[in-house]
Amino acid sequence: MYSGVKAMIEAEKALAASGTKKVAGIKAGTHLKKPEDITGPIEFPADCKSLLCKYLTPEVYAKYAGKKDKAGVAFEQMILSGAQNVDSGIGIYAGSHDSYTTFCDIFDKVIEDYHMHKKDAKHVSNMDHTQLVCPPFTEDEASMIVSTRIRVGRNLADFPLGPGISKEQRDKVEELVSKACKSFTGELEGTYYALGSMSEADRKQLIEDHFLFKEGDRFLESCGLNRNWPEGRGIFHNKEKTFLIWVNEEDQLRIISMQKGADIKAVFTRLSTAATLIEKEAKFAHDEHLGYITSCPTNLGTALRASVHIKLPLLGKNKEQFNKIADEFYVQIRGIHGEHTETDDGVFDISNKRRLGRSEKDLVQDMYNGVKAMITAEKALAAAKK
């Protein structure tokens, strides 16, 4: 014990002799308005549960303070959202693909905590719709499914991510994607609408269709994703309104395939076909460790959400059985109005839970298998009531 105390005293003397001073901490909160306001280690409130709070130690801050990634995005810009909004779940956004390497001491920990994906793990992408095993539902089963929707987030390899992209680069992304949309034929053929110049009639129609996205929330505002709004942003949809692309919202592309009913194979096929056509014009950011690159670490890998709205009035009342099936097939249960909402009409949103470490095809398979099992359970409960 004496030797340990002596060592600490000697270390303190050495620091004093070298002139090293302890950097004053900065309290987290809404008073932090810009990256330059972060001038020392962040002091989070005791009840903060974000992964930024968990892993931004004074040592990590000291290592990265004032540094930028290869795209020129400052570390302080990446942590501003979580430093400002202490109710964040994650709190850190990457400024570019390189951010995950340059600031790996914190990103690796956040990714492993959220995805259980270790720093030496690989991610294999697979958008091949022909490998999906999803036989059509029977007529009575299909009648239980209201709608199907699958979307992916993508960013372009030659540009920084949203927090670090310039106005000129964002405009170029829009130009490349809108050009790719013009090549669509058949069921994908449609119209691109630039948010900055759309007519009032188009705006009203897009709102009516629930297609129009709005300026981002306070978390995205803090990390710089709302800059130059609405310039460089836009929406594409096909004539049948079963396919949609958001350009330069949170990620540079959000590609969405959807339709009424239960044809999961058709929805995934449409999505896969469109993504392939887009990448002929603009390569997506991707690597073998993290898969498709996104600004928020939670979306890394596939950035995919495959979901159905399904009527399960009996199973929905049996929470233990419902949750057991969800856990078995790696799916999550939500109310149809989004995360954390309740439902009182027996209609639920069922979607894949995993993102990183499994392919797109695998995650759509998760969703199909989970929905099939839930339908079987619902039918058994109905039969038992007779």
Euclidean distance between CA atoms 166 and 241, whole angstroms: 31
Residue 385, pLDDT score: 82
On the question of pLDDT at 384 being above 80, the answer is yes
On the question of pLDDT at 276 being above 60, the answer is yes
Cis omega (within 30 of 0) on the bond before 35?
A: no
pLDDT for 29-39, tens place per residue? Answer: 999 999 999 99
Residue 224, pLDDT score: 86
Instruction: With cut-offs at 50, 70 and 90, classify the pLDDT of residue 208.
Output: confident
Helix, strand counts (H, E) of the chain:
13, 12
Residue 9 belongs to some domain of the structure: no
Residue 77 belongs to some domain of the structure: yes
Residue 124 belongs to some domain of the structure: no
Catalytic residue, chosen from 102, 223, 296, 302, is: 296
On the question of pLDDT at 74 being above 70, the answer is yes
358 is known as an active-site residue: no
User: Are 39 and 158 within one domain?
Assistant: no
339 is known as an active-site residue: yes
Residue 342, pLDDT score: 57
305 is known as an active-site residue: yes
The helix (H) or strand (E) run that includes residue 57 is none
Distances (CA, A) of 250 to 28, 226, 263, 309: 24, 9, 28, 24
334 is known as an active-site residue: yes
Catalytic residue, chosen from 101, 112, 221, 334, is: 334
* Number of folded domains that form the chain: 2
Structural domain that includes position 62: 15-115
40: domain CATH number is 1.10.135.10
Instruction: With cut-offs at 50, 70 and 90, classify the pLDDT of residue 5.
Output: very low
Instruction: With cut-offs at 50, 70 and 90, classify the pLDDT of residue 338.
Output: low
Catalytic residue, chosen from 168, 200, 208, 339, is: 339
300, 119 contact by CB (below 8 A) = no
298 is known as an active-site residue: yes
Residue 22, pLDDT score: 53
On the question of pLDDT at 306 being above 80, the answer is yes
Euclidean distance between CA atoms 75 and 68, whole angstroms: 6
234, 174 contact by CB (below 8 A) = yes
Nearest 5°: the CA angle 117, 100, 272 is 70
Catalytic residue, chosen from 174, 250, 360, 378, is: 250
Catalytic residue, chosen from 170, 233, 254, 358, is: 254
pLDDT for 339-370, tens place per residue? Answer: 445 556 789 999 999 999 999 999 999 999 99
180: domain CATH number is 3.30.590.10
Single residue among 115, 144, 173 that ends a domain in this structure:
115
Orientation of helix 264-279 relative to helix 167-182, angle to 10°: 120
376 is known as an active-site residue: no
Q: Is 22 exposed, middle or buried (0-12, 13-18, 19+ CB in 10 A)?
A: exposed
151 is known as an active-site residue: yes
Instruction: With cut-offs at 50, 70 and 90, classify the pLDDT of residue 335.
Output: confident
User: Are 182 and 216 within one domain?
Assistant: yes
Residue 14, pLDDT score: 46
Residue 317, pLDDT score: 94
Residue 222, pLDDT score: 87
Percent of the chain with pLDDT over 70: 92
Instruction: With cut-offs at 50, 70 and 90, classify the pLDDT of residue 337.
Output: low
Residue 345, pLDDT score: 76
218 is known as an active-site residue: no
Single residue among 115, 142, 177 that ends a domain in this structure:
115
Single residue among 88, 115, 142 that ends a domain in this structure:
115
Catalytic residue, chosen from 57, 101, 269, 298, is: 298
Residue 336, pLDDT score: 77
Catalytic residue, chosen from 149, 305, 354, 355, is: 305
The amino acid sitting at 46 is A
Residue 10, pLDDT score: 52
Instruction: With cut-offs at 50, 70 and 90, classify the pLDDT of residue 213.
Output: confident
Euclidean distance between CA atoms 137 and 146, whole angstroms: 13
